[in-house]
Chain A
């Protein structure tokens, strides 16, 4: 019991530092956003596989039925009709925001991991900035935010036609 309570306390503490990125600089924001966007995209991915799976008949169908085409066309059309409402369109716009952010920030992490675009290590004098957040890395982080906002606006326009 004690072990379990300890585990839960560790989990809560970890989640608290994970989800509250204030006061730690740009890298912590990047860390938190990368993880939140990753989890959200994973949820969307699984939902997308389940949803498209129902178009061809759901979990029980593993062969091609004689009426496969008519069945798929009917379920697809019904699914699109069901999903065509402002709630799901807005949800997809948020997914677009997270996918765009995760993509560019992922490229930034890829570059940082292999040491590209990083500054040289220096003595940590007071007020020093971590070299992992060099001007190139900072620019890439803000580029990921800019691309995410662009994707959000583009998706909203694609579904709601606000810019037309």
Chain B
């Protein structure tokens, strides 16, 4: 088992990672053009397909997915083992949340890979 100290260090590091990757994600949607324009499927440089055509932006979304998945589910784990304490409860919480986080990462990665592939074909 990974120690609590290591988990909290990763929690802080992923927090810093979200600070960067999240700023890029929110910045591309809200700051590059009017929101309604960026929320279109394709056409402008930062529309959905515009973002996914750019390999660096697509990779930053994958990084954001990994960071947020760890940060969110570790945060839930901290809350749940703070609300009630027993070895059985802690083991159950850890296992269920690890599986949930992995499912979210796998599903989200699939979405990103397919969207990236589609974007490469969109003129």
A106 at the interface (CB under 8 A from B): yes
Contact of B79 with A39 in the complex, beta carbons under 8 Å: yes
Contact of B72 with A69 in the complex, beta carbons under 8 Å: no
A25 at the interface (CB under 8 A from B): no
User: What is the CA–CA distance of A62 and B15 in the complex, to the nearest angstrom?
Assistant: 30
Interface size class of A (residues with CB under 8 A): 35 or more
Contact of A41 with B83 in the complex, beta carbons under 8 Å: no
Contact of B76 with A158 in the complex, beta carbons under 8 Å: no
Interface size class of B (residues with CB under 8 A): 35 or more
Which residue from B30, B41, B115 sits with its C-beta under 8 Å from A56? B115
Main secondary structure on B side of the interface with A: helix
Chain B nearest CB: distance from A110 CB in Å?
Answer: 6
B104 at the interface (CB under 8 A from A): yes
26 interchain pairs (CB within 8 A)?
A10-B83, A11-B83, A15-B83, A35-B79, A39-B76, A41-B72, A42-B73, A42-B75, A42-B76, A45-B69, A49-B104, A49-B111, A52-B108, A52-B115, A53-B110, A53-B111, A55-B115, A56-B115, A57-B114, A64-B114, A64-B118, A69-B121, A103-B19, A154-B30, A158-B35, A159-B35
Give me the interface of B with A, judged by CB distance under 8 Å.
Answer: 12, 15-16, 19, 22, 26, 30, 35, 39, 41-42, 48, 65, 68-69, 72-73, 75-76, 79, 82-84, 86, 89, 104, 107-108, 110-111, 114-115, 117-118, 121-122
